[in-house]
Amino acid sequence: MSHESLPHLIGVDGGGSSCRAALRLGPDGPRHEVTLGAANVSTNFDEAVATIREALGQLCEKAGLPQAELVRARAHLGLAGVMNEEIAGRVAAALPIGRAQVTDDRPTTLAGAFGDGNGAVAAIGTGSFLGRQQGGQQKLAGGWGFVIGDQASGAWIGRRLLEEVVLCVDGFSAETELVRDVLAAHGRDPSLIVAFSLSARPKDFADFARHVEAAAVLGDPLAKALMEEGAGYIVRGLASLGWRKGEPLCLMGGLGPAYAPFLPQVMQRSLVPPKGSALDGALALAARIPEGVT
């Protein structure tokens, strides 16, 4: 049987900074991928859905597949901001896909990292979550969004940086090179930092994370303290999930690997590369969707 006669598979990994999507023509056919902008359905639902639809259109164009063929596709979408079944249903209903499952981005990340195996992940990008897979069961922590969660994430570390900068302006601490750089970028006018913070989105705060990471490597005291604070959250969270010494641990996401030197040695020795990405996990979960599931 040719791949043209089998259901096409679609995987989507949508986060606060980017949306990656893949289309496989049949379970064993060629794979096509695209990457677009943010697709966090809790931040801006309509914008996220429009991004996903655009990604689907680009995938069909790359594959030479009429978009009408999507009605016989199976898809799994792991999206930041999917907090409940109502949101998942709204996303699925807005897409021209025959059978679609929509979850948050945690199950796809675990599926990509370990397949059916055991282990834990600290997925740290614009947002964050922790997860552990044991005996086919998943336990999850975090993923509650920027306002009350996403500890250790790029957005969190950016907001924390600006918080410490204004505390420094008020005399709570001495200026470090990182503080001076942030102040200089805002004309040494704290009111401009406040103005930025009032309209900034998570991805805007996350733009500071790389500066913190680089400054920590150079020994900046504030940058090191922020990375250590984020690492402390990872350690506590993994303990709450039951992670044990020697269990495989993956640091994933754009910022995750940067925390490696700030973790305890017992965790550093357990670090392993993921088998695949969250996008790989989304495709794998799409392949498991049985006939008739919508």
Chain segment 44-65, per-residue pLDDT in tens: 899 999 999 999 999 999 999 9
Comparing 271 with 116, the larger pLDDT belongs to 271
What contacts 27, CB < 8 A, 6 or more positions away?
A: 3, 6, 7, 9, 287
Mean pLDDT of 126-145: 89
Helix or strand or coil: residue 122?
strand
| pLDDT confidence band for 1 (50 / 70 / 90) | very low
pLDDT category, 100, cuts 50, 70, 90? very high
For the chain, percent of residues with pLDDT exceeding 70: 97
Q: What are the counts of helices (DSSP H) followed by strands (DSSP E) for the chain?
A: 11, 9
**275 and 284 in contact (C-beta within 8 Å)?**
no
pLDDT band at 6 (very low <50, low <70, confident <90, very high): low
Looking only at Cα atoms, what is the longest distance across the chain? 72
Query: For residue 114, what pLDDT band results from cuts at 50, 70 and 90?
Result: very high
Q: What is the pLDDT of residue 83?
A: 85
Contact 67, 56 (CB under 8 A): yes
Both tokens of residue 266? 């017992």
CA 149: distance to chain centroid? 13
Q: Are 268 and 245 a contacting pair, CB within 8 Å?
A: no
pLDDT category at 294 given cuts 50, 70, 90 is very low
pLDDT band at 42 (very low <50, low <70, confident <90, very high): confident
Mean pLDDT across 5-14: 86
